[in-house]
């Protein structure tokens, strides 16, 4: 018996059974990075969340029946500002950051989306969409700017479940004397000298950020599609504006049917943000910790809940994976994972529930039972993707001591124990542990391994 997928739909704010428009052509769009700075751990959460959803949809409907689009925003005010600060062109900046983003995706073991369009490759589509909005009197031109008339769209606020006045009062709406109303948002703006620009009916300029996703989703997924994803910070104004301009330009009743938003990553229960000074870049973890550990940590809380990031979380995930990697991975046969194991994922991507199932399977695998199922179930969510040798090699490279130095310290500890200087012996053991080496006294010998 097949399982139904249930998702928490921000449009209506309730969990719903997922019914695709066309089961043979399931379509998902997720807002990708604005490539102006190195990706941080907060950016990693939606990467892993929607990577797992992509795998689940393919498991349900078939590999060739699911299209996953994740864009690259490579023109934006933040990009222009960052390129000026770094004294490089926007093209050089976005190329460098996009490369780092892809490296981070590989580090986290995320599969590539079906399509990954860049905003700058789709400017003509954006201009065409703006023209449609102007023709329908949903947008107006003022001094080479084009703005969307928010009050012309009667369902504005449907996603965030707020009225226009509340939305404006609670957000940083861009102020401009060129707007007819303060809530209107920009579709096209002029570029200053030495800034990237494109020809348009309204003069040289560039598109507004919100418009980019509307145009690219339309190109690859059509006027109406199944799932739109992203972080919850995008609900307003970005996703609210996408809905308004897309429905008005495409003359449809709906845009995306299911809106899935992951919650924030926090540190000491405060949102990770530049203003808080607590941003952790993904690149800072690469020499210290396996991407497998980061991925498992990101799965440790339900995507709808905040995830508090701390050292204990990472240590617990590393210890779990270290235990799991002791299962012999050689001669593994990929097998179909039964529904009772997958069920938590079908129930609104309940990754903590799925990890609990993995713990149960490990107990059986450690006794020689259902080893292939345990490994297959781990790999389904992107875990145990390395060989045991690669896992150990990573830990070895992280250790600051050579094997000769480790053996020397163990000999000194043995001498201290013979002299009954247990305090010195414990200090050497603790120093080795701090540097990533775990020792064990067994059968009169001291054995060691990398943590």
| Among 49, 45, 39, CA closest to 104 | 39
pLDDT at 204 over 70: yes
pLDDT at 370 over 70: yes
pLDDT of residue 402: 76
Burial of 184 (0-12, 13-18, 19+ CB in 10 A): buried
Average pLDDT score over residue span 10-34: 98
Average pLDDT score over residue span 138-151: 97
The larger pLDDT score, comparing residue 101 to residue 163, is at 101
Cα Rg of the chain (Å, integer): 26
Average pLDDT score over residue span 359-385: 96
Percent of the chain with pLDDT over 70: 96
Identify the bridge partners of residue 234 per DSSP, sorted by sequence position: none
Rounded CA gap, 325 and 384, in Å? Answer: 7
Q: What is the pLDDT of residues 45-84, one digit of tens each?
A: 999 999 999 999 999 999 999 999 999 999 999 999 999 9
pLDDT of residue 267: 84
Q: What is the pLDDT of residues 330-339, one digit of tens each?
A: 888 889 999 9
pLDDT at 184 over 90: yes
pLDDT at 377 over 80: yes
Rounded CA gap, 183 and 240, in Å? Answer: 12
Label residue 173 by pLDDT band (50, 70, 90).
low
The larger pLDDT score, comparing residue 346 to residue 280, is at 346
pLDDT at 399 over 80: no
pLDDT of residue 286: 86
Distances (CA, A) of 175 to 32, 136, 199, 212, 316: 26, 25, 25, 21, 47
pLDDT at 12 over 60: yes
Q: What is the pLDDT of residues 264-290, one digit of tens each?
A: 999 877 877 766 667 899 998 887 789
| Among 120, 127, 116, 115, CA closest to 89 | 120
Q: Would you call 63 helix, strand, or coil by DSSP?
A: helix
φ, ψ at 111 (rounded to 5°) = -75, 160
Residue ranges and CATH numbers for the domains of the chain are 6-266 (3.40.50.620), 310-390 (1.20.120), 399-450 (no CATH)
Label residue 400 by pLDDT band (50, 70, 90).
low
Q: pTM of the predicted model, to two decimals?
A: 0.88
* Cβ neighbours, 10 Å, residue 118: 17
| Among 252, 180, 261, 199, CA closest to 223 | 252
Q: What is the mean pLDDT of the chain?
A: 92
Label residue 404 by pLDDT band (50, 70, 90).
confident
Range from 166-170, 208-212, 228-232, 334-338 carrying the lowest mean pLDDT? 166-170
Average pLDDT score over residue span 348-363: 98
pLDDT of residue 168: 66
Range from 326-335, 357-366, 373-382 carrying the lowest mean pLDDT? 326-335
Percent of the chain with pLDDT over 90: 74
Q: Would you call 41 helix, strand, or coil by DSSP?
A: helix
Rounded CA gap, 409 and 102, in Å? Answer: 41
pLDDT of residue 167: 67
The larger pLDDT score, comparing residue 382 to residue 334, is at 382
Label residue 436 by pLDDT band (50, 70, 90).
confident
pLDDT at 133 over 90: yes
């Amino acid at each position: 018996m097949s399982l139904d997928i249930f998702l928490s739909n921000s449009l209506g704010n309730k969990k719903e059974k997922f019914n695709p428009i066309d089961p043979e052509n399931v379509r998902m769009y997720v807002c990708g990075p604005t490539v102006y700075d190195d990706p941080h751990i907060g950016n990693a959460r939606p990467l892993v969340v929607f990577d797992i959803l992509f795998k689940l949809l393919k498991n349900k409907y078939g590999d060739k029946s699911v299209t996953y689009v994740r864009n690259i925003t490579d023109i934006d005010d933040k990009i222009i500002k960052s390129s000026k600060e770094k004294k490089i062109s926007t093209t050089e900046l976005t190329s460098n950051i996009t490369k780092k983003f892809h490296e981070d995706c590989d580090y986290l073991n995320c599969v590539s989306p079906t399509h990954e369009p860049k905003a700058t490759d789709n400017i003509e589509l954006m201009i065409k969409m703006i023209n449609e909005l102007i023709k329908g009197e949903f947008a107006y031109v003022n001094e080479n700017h084009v703005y969307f008339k928010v009050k012309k769209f009667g369902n504005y606020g449907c996603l965030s479940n707020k009225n226009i006045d509340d939305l404006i009062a609670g957000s940083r709406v861009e102020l401009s004397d060129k707007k007819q109303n303060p809530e209107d948002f920009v579709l096209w703006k002029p570029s200053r000298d030495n800034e990237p620009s494109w020809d348009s009916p309204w003069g040289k300029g560039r598109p507004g950020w919100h418009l980019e996703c509307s145009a690219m989703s339309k190109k690859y997924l059509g006027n109406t599609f199944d799932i739109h994803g992203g972080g919850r910070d995008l609900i307003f104004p970005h996703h609210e504006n996408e809905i308004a301009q897309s429905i008005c330009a495409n003359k449809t009743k709906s845009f995306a049917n299911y809106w899935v938003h992951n919650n924030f990553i926090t540190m000491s229960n405060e949102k990770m943000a530049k203003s808080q000074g607590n941003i952790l870049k993904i690149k800072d973890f690469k020499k210290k910790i396996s991407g497998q550990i980061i991925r498992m940590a990101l799965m440790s809380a339900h995507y709808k809940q905040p995830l508090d990031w701390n050292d204990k979380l990472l240590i617990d995930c590393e210890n779990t994976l270290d235990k799991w990697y002791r299962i012999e991975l050689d001669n593994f046969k990929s097998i179909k994972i039964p529904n009772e194991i997958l069920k938590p994922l079908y129930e609104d991507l309940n990754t903590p529930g799925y990890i609990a199932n993995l713990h149960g399977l490990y107990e059986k695998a450690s006794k020689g039972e259902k080893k292939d199922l345990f490994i297959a179930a781990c790999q389904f969510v992107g875990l145990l993707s390395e060989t045991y040798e690669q896992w150990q090699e990573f830990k070895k490279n992280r250790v600051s001591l050579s094997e000769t130095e480790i053996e020397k310290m163990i000999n000194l500890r043995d001498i201290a124990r013979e002299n009954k200087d247990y305090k010195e012996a414990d200090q050497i053991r603790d120093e080795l542990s701090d540097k990533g080496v775990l020792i064990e006294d067994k059968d009169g010998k001291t054995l060691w391994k990398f943590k």
